[in-house]
C-alpha cells in the first residue's frame, strides 16, 4: 500500500524538479515559460477563482461522464448481443470519433446558444462514451456461446444472461475504458470552456491568463486540471477494486 502511494508521489516530484531545472537551465523568464516555483503565487492570488471554477469544471465533467457511462453501456449491449447492429453501428461510431471535437464545439454552441452548462456536459459526453461502448461491445461479443446456450436452455432471459454472466465478465474491460473516458471527459469540458468562452470553469480561467499573458496562471490552471483528472482516475481505480478486484493479477 505504501509503495502504491510513494511511487506516484515520487514520480510527480521528479517531474516537477525536471521542469524547474529545464526552465532554470534555459534561462526562460516566466512570461515565456513558467516554472513550478511560480505556481504557488498564482494559486495564492486566485485561490477563490480556482475553487469556484474548478468546481464548475468538475461537476460538469462528472455529469457528462455519467451520461457517457449509461449511454455507452447501453450501446455496447446492443452491439455486443447483435452482430448485425455491431456491423451497422461500428463504422458510424468510428467515423464520429474521428471528427476533431474542437470543430464540433462551435456547432454545438450555435445550436444551443446560451445553454452553457448543457453545451459543456454534452461535449464531455460526446468525447467520452466511445471507449466505453467499444469495451462493453467487445466483452459481450466474446462471451462463450456455451454459457448462453446453457442459460437459455434453463429458461434464462437475455437480461438475466447479461446481469449474471455477461456484465461480470465485461467489468475489467469496462473499468479499463472508464479510465480512458475520465481524461477524455475533461478534454471535452475544457474544449467547450476555451473554444466557446462563457466565463465559467477552469478553461475560462486559462483563457483569461492567456489574454493577460499571465503564464504562471495558465500553467497553474493546467496543473489544477491534471490534479482533478488524477483524483477522478483514482476514484475509478477504487471502484474497480471494489467491483472487479477479482480480475487483478498479483504482481511482484
Q: What is the DSSP string of 40-91?
A: HHHHHHTHHHHHHHHHHHHHHHHHHHHHHHHHHHHHHHHHHH-HHHHHHHHH
Contacts of 245 (CB under 8 A, 6+ apart): none
Continuous segment of H or E residues that includes residue 226: helix 215-244
Cα gap 205→51, rounded to integer Å: 11
Q: pLDDT tens across 159-211, in order?
A: 677 777 777 778 888 888 899 999 999 988 988 888 876 778 898 899 888 88
Residue 246 scores a pLDDT above 70: no
Taking residue 145's Cβ as centre, other Cβ atoms within 10 Å add up to 7
Residue 228 scores a pLDDT above 70: yes
Contacts of 176 (CB under 8 A, 6+ apart): 135
CB 148 within 8 Å of CB 80: no
Its pTM stands at: 0.86
Question: What's the pLDDT score for residue 6?
Answer: 83
- Using CA atoms, how far residue 54 sits from 15, 220, 221, in Å, is 23, 12, 9
Please name the residue that has the C-alpha cell 447483435. Answer: 82
- Domains of the chain in start order, with CATH, are 47-247 (1.10.3720.10)
Question: What's the pLDDT score for residue 147?
Answer: 67
Amino acid at each position: 500500500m505504501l509503495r502504491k502511494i510513494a511511487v506516484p508521489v515520487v514520480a510527480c516530484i521528479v517531474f516537477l524538479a525536471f521542469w524547474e531545472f529545464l526552465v532554470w537551465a534555459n534561462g526562460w523568464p516566466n512570461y515565456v515559460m513558467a516554472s513550478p516555483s511560480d505556481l504557488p503565487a498564482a494559486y495564492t492570488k486566485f485561490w477563490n477563482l480556482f475553487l469556484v471554477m474548478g468546481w464548475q469544471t468538475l461537476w460538469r465533467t462528472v455529469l457528462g461522464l455519467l451520461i457517457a457511462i449509461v449511454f455507452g453501456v447501453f450501446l455496447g449491449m446492443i452491439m455486443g448481443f447483435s452482430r448485425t447492429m455491431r456491423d451497422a453501428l461500428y463504422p458510424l461510431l468510428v467515423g464520429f470519433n474521428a471528427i476533431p471535437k474542437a470543430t464540433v464545439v462551435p456547432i454545438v454552441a450555435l445550436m444551443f446558444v446560451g445553454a452553457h452548462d448543457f453545451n459543456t456536459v454534452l461535449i464531455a459526453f460526446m468525447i467520452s462514451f466511445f471507449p466505453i461502448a467499444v469495451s462493453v461491445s467487445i466483452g459481450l461479443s466474446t462471451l462463450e456461446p456455451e454459457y448462453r446456450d446453457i442459460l437459455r436452455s434453463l429458461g434464462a432471459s437475455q437480461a438475466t444472461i447479461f446481469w449474471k454472466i455477461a456484465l461480470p465478465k465485461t467489468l475489467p474491460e469496462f473499468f479499463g475504458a472508464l479510465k480512458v473516458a475520465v481524461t477524455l471527459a475533461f478534454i471535452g469540458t475544457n474544449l467547450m470552456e476555451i473554444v466557446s468562452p462563457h466565463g465559467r470553469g477552469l478553461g475560462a480561467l486559462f483563457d483569461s491568463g492567456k489574454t493577460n499573458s499571465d503564464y504562471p496562471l495558465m500553467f497553474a490552471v493546467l496543473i489544477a486540471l491534471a490534479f482533478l483528472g488524477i483524483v477522478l482516475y483514482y476514484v475509478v481505480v477504487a471502484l474497480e477494486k471494489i467491483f472487479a478486484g477479482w480480475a487483478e493479477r498479483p504482481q511482484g
